[in-house]
Amino acid sequence: MHRLFSLFFLAGIAGAVIQLMAGDMEAPGRLINALWESADLAVEVSLGLIGVLALWSGLFRLAEASRLADRISGWVTPVLARVMPGIARTPEAAAPVSMNLAANMLGLDNAATPLGLKAMESLQKDNPSPRSATNSQIMFLVLNTSSVTLVPVTVLLFRAQQGAEDPALVYLPLLMATTISTLVGVIVTARVQKLPLASPLLLTVMGVWLAVLGLLGAVVLLAPAEAANTFASLLGNGILLLVLSVFFIAAWRSGVDSYDAFVEGAKEGFTLAVKIIPYLVAMLAAIAMLRAGGVLGLFLDGIRSGVGALGLDTRFVDALPVALLKPLSGSGARAAMVDVMQTHGVDSLAGRMAAVMQGSTETTFYVLTVYFGSVGIRDFRYALWCGLAADAAGLVSAIFLSYLFFA
């Protein structure tokens, strides 16, 4: 990541020098002003997130304290056994694997990572070649890089902070895109591993889920524009309210002190909002250098020209910085999303598409490095390519669905 960060700065400076040599005497000033503005923007965004981040962190603490992920894992385990046969040989891995995926579905990032590391450690016990990834470990990693997220909190928080008219309007296309990403990731990995996916349980779960999404999508797309927007808003906000109700009911039934748990979680949210300031400053400054130096514009214009020559719509190009950065860096992609929202508007096609892209993909290189590195695996085999295939499917789906719902 440090090489990419340095490259952005140096490329921006080189771009400004070229502009200066071409007679643009204001180029250095624009570059410096862009740096100051990006630093101010990073602090403004982070401070604006304190309230909503504290709120959601408090709510998620209820889910953790009530062990909601444990209960969901009991429903997920039978499905996992069909795509990860290695779980049958290491029963102790079933619980952390399913709990990790359940936590990811609920948006419980703080709980998902340690559970994921525990799951990888358990799967490693059945590994005959400790320095090489097993099939089950690879499938687990792909599921982590593409898992369906029912509560895409980060995306909704940033949209709300940027003043979106309805932050939850992107919920349905985001859910569809992340579903497609997961399906492609599982199918590609299963084909490589020669796993049979035609089991009645898998087909039933997949069929029901796709049927529900298809029905909801059809209602939104076939209804008049105003009614469709109202339905999409009700759907996104309704699902979030349902999830919150489940959190509180689970806490109540578990005897958890919901107030104390919420306050403790909210404290973590406040701390987290402050902690992300340096990361946002770094990446927003780097992107600002690229943009002010003319490098980002030149790169995107090149893609735009190529796409235009094929007779295709080019508006999606404005959201591409998110797509390019997400597999490499979560903080970089968040910064790129904020930059797109600031430049084009949070409720523009590019702004909404950037949000869907951000929520439908994962930081594949980071997940691969942390999870495999934690157990000493050096030979990733085909894990990277399967993870990137899931990312590519998520990004293409995000573009297509954004045009379908918002263009």
Residue 399: the pLDDT is 93
Q: Name the residue among 327, 331, 355 with its Cα closest to residue 341.
A: 355
Residues 6+ apart with CB under 8 A from 24: none
At 244, the pLDDT band (50, 70, 90 cuts) reads: confident
More confident call, 21 vs 351: 351
Q: What is the structure's pLDDT at 225?
A: 64
Q: In angstroms, rounded to a whole number, what is the distance separating the alpha carbons of residues 298 and 214?
A: 39
Indicate if the pLDDT at residue 111 is higher than 70.
no
What's the Rg (C-alpha) of the chain? 22
Q: What is the pLDDT of residues 16-73, one digit of tens each?
A: 888 888 887 888 888 888 888 888 877 877 777 787 778 877 877 787 788 776 676 6
Please tell me the predicted confidence (pLDDT) of residue 131: 87
User: For 198-214, what is each residue's pLDDT tens digit?
Assistant: 888 888 888 888 888 88
- 153, with CB counted inside 10 A (0-12, 13-18, 19+), is buried
Fill in the DSSP letter of residue 379: B
Q: According to the per-residue pLDDT averaged within each range, which of 118-132, 220-234, 272-286, 386-400 is highest?
A: 386-400
Is the pLDDT assigned to residue 320 strictly greater than 80?
yes
pLDDT at 242: 82
Q: What is the pTM of this model?
A: 0.75
